A and B are shown apart, each in its own frame.
Chain A
Amino acid sequence: MQPNNLWSRYKQKYGHLPWFRRYEFLILFYLVYTVYTLFLMPPKGSLTLWTGLEVIFSFLLYIAVLVVVQMDREKPVWLKNILAILLFVLFGWLFYRYSGARWSELNKYFFNFAIMTEGNFMSTREASNNWVLMFMGLWTAIKIFIYSLIFSTFLALGLAVIRNIVNDKLLNIFIDLYVDVFRAVPPIALLIVVYSSLPYSGIVLSPFATGVLTLTLIEGAYLCEVFRSGIDAIHKNQIESARSLGLTAWKAMRLVVIPQAIKIIIPPYTNRLIGLMKRTAECSVIAIAEILQTAQQLQSWYSNATPLIIGAGMYMLVLLPMTKLATIVENRRHSA
């Protein structure tokens, strides 16, 4: 009868292995050593030769353990994953501890959320603090996004369908010209040009309308290509069999081609959607108080970049659910 203690169990489990595969003691030693050097020793400020050697040694030791564990087929996957993730944690920790960065100042200039509850020169009775101002900016950005999304989708769908059905040589040249020109122009340049030149032609639009118009024109060009490629991807046979039943070209497009094309269109369409939301930031050059414009005003007022960080977070707030939604819609179409 063998004694049932820790050591005998260890021998039973790993005794058959040669010494270089019995590295559990190595991990143990490593953990003790790392915890001591990195966490318990008092911080040394800047990197000296001795701490440098310590860090390098600790690192090599970790890599040795990692490699041995990853190569061992008997080790469970979760252990391998944890060790791999720990490598990144180690990197992060080392950078934080030894890079000599002034973390407290970084905090003060980039993550100073206290200033967001203050009021300033831009405050009104409705927008009494900076949070409200930023969220009003977000709402403006979303409005620009939704308007130009709807208009450009209709524009692009119309052009793509007309190009496919009417298929008139001269008309195609004009549509191609529109698509090529507006894909070649940087949105920011077009915004400035339209905003500053349109009033001379007697058309005076608000900055908001100018922004929507410009983004619609540019997005329409891209989406036209997206829709066209989706429509072209549907086999000619489908249209022929629809036409042979007596459906008109428009009905064949609406009932047969487009429902099938949507499945192909959704991924690139989502890409353009995300791009469009981010491109609303470019409307800040024509004095629309959207997210970036508001954040920049606040940044210069406080000499503090916290509003920009919050602005970046706001784009994520809108875009992450949107991408999720697009994935759900796409999966649903695939299963149907």
Chain B
Amino acid sequence: MGQKIDTQKNEQPAIIQVSDLHKYFGNFHVLKGLNAEINRGEVVAMIGPSGSGKSTFLRCLNRLEEPTTGSIKIDGTEIVDHRIDINKIRTEIGMVFQDYNLFPHLNVIQNVTLAPVNVRRMKYKEAEEIGMNLLERVGVAEKAKQYPSNLSGGQQQRVAIARSLAMQPKIMFFDEPTSALDPEMIREVLDVMRGLAESGMTMVVVSHELGFIREASNKVLVLEDGLVIEEGTPDKVFNHAENQRTQQFLSMIL
């Protein structure tokens, strides 16, 4: 039976379906009826001026912010519903934050294995093996026994990516992963993300790294004032934007 449901789910191309999403902070209307659809294996970049609701939208998608109204379907499951177990949904979604948010009291490998051991009930040995493989993949394996405070920003962010990947998620969210980093560290993090995109991971990236977006993403969403004002391939958005505001915004950051 479980398999049957799985095959049903896999038939749907859209892994995230958002319709008419509203979010208020008190009286402040942040998201004003967002609609979006993200397909399996797609790398979606979100850009837009600050305050346009990019981060809030991303955080609503795994309910770190509670959406006020609207519908979000992750892999066919409606998550704007207090009866569902959101922790279960979150295990399928990795999230990488702007300020890395590693756990400072644990060393790198403990950071990576914390969730698999305590949520997935994995044996520590097994989790450690997976963790070491991931750390090798992001290139910080030699730092496994170090504490986060001894790592550079770029290394910390790569550990944070490995920590999310250790849960073997289906989707990865990146909330401005490089905006707190120096230029050379930005490159090492973007390289890891590029590798991840090539491996077929579904990714939603809030970023201002236009080079990376142009190269690695399949779709760009431009947000403005709580709404998606432009949607399409990077080429279409960057070179043939239809919306006046998109053109304005892009001319400012290009």
Say which residue of A244, A245, A246 sits within 8 Å of B88 (CB atoms). Answer: A246
Asked if A8 is an interface residue, CB under 8 A from chain B, the answer is no
* CB contact list, B102-143 vs A, under 8 A: 102-105, 114-115, 118-119
The distance in angstroms between the C-alpha atoms of A247 and B120, with both chains bound, is 10
- Dominant SS at the A interface? helix
| Interface size, chain B (Cβ < 8 Å) | 24
A245 adjacent to B114 (CB under 8 Å): yes
B118 adjacent to A251 (CB under 8 Å): yes
| Interface size, chain A (Cβ < 8 Å) | 17
Asked if A2 is an interface residue, CB under 8 A from chain B, the answer is no
B97 adjacent to A246 (CB under 8 Å): no
- Would you give the shortest CB distance from A271 to chain B, in whole angstroms? 23
The distance in angstroms between the C-alpha atoms of A130 and B101, with both chains bound, is 60
B167 adjacent to A237 (CB under 8 Å): no
The distance in angstroms between the C-alpha atoms of A256 and B118, with both chains bound, is 12
Cβ contacts under 8 Å, A246 to chain B: 87-88, 90-91, 115, 119, 167
Cβ contacts under 8 Å, B164 to chain A: 244-245
Say which residue of A241, A247, A255, A259 sits within 8 Å of B87 (CB atoms). Answer: A247
What does the 1/0 interface line of A206-237 toward B look like (CB < 8 Å)?
A: 00000000000000000000000000000001
- Would you give the shortest CB distance from B129 to chain A, in whole angstroms? 19
Cβ contacts under 8 Å, B97 to chain A: 237, 240-241
Nearest residue in B to A256 (C-beta to C-beta)? B103
A259 adjacent to B90 (CB under 8 Å): no
The distance in angstroms between the C-alpha atoms of A237 and B91, with both chains bound, is 18
The distance in angstroms between the C-alpha atoms of A309 and B99, with both chains bound, is 57
The distance in angstroms between the C-alpha atoms of A149 and B103, with both chains bound, is 30
Cβ contacts under 8 Å, A245 to chain B: 90-91, 94, 114-115, 119, 163-164, 167
B115 adjacent to A259 (CB under 8 Å): no
Given A238-B103, A248-B87, A256-B103, A243 contacting B118 (CB threshold 8 A): no
What does the 1/0 interface line of A243-279 toward B look like (CB < 8 Å)?
A: 1111110010001100110000000000000000000
18 pairs of residues in contact across A and B, judged by CB atoms under 8 Å:
A237-B97, A237-B101, A240-B97, A241-B101, A241-B103, A243-B64, A244-B64, A244-B93, A244-B95, A244-B164, A245-B115, A245-B163, A245-B164, A246-B91, A248-B87, A255-B118, A256-B114, A260-B103
Report A's interface with B, CB cutoff 8 A. Answer: 237-238, 240-248, 251, 255-256, 259-260, 336
Q: Which 3 A-B pairs have the closest CB atoms?
A: A246-B91, A241-B101, A245-B115
If A240-B97, A240-B101, A244-B90 are given as contacts, then 6 extra A-B residue pairs at C-beta distance below 8 Å, sorted by A number, are A238-B101, A243-B64, A243-B87, A247-B114, A251-B118, A259-B105
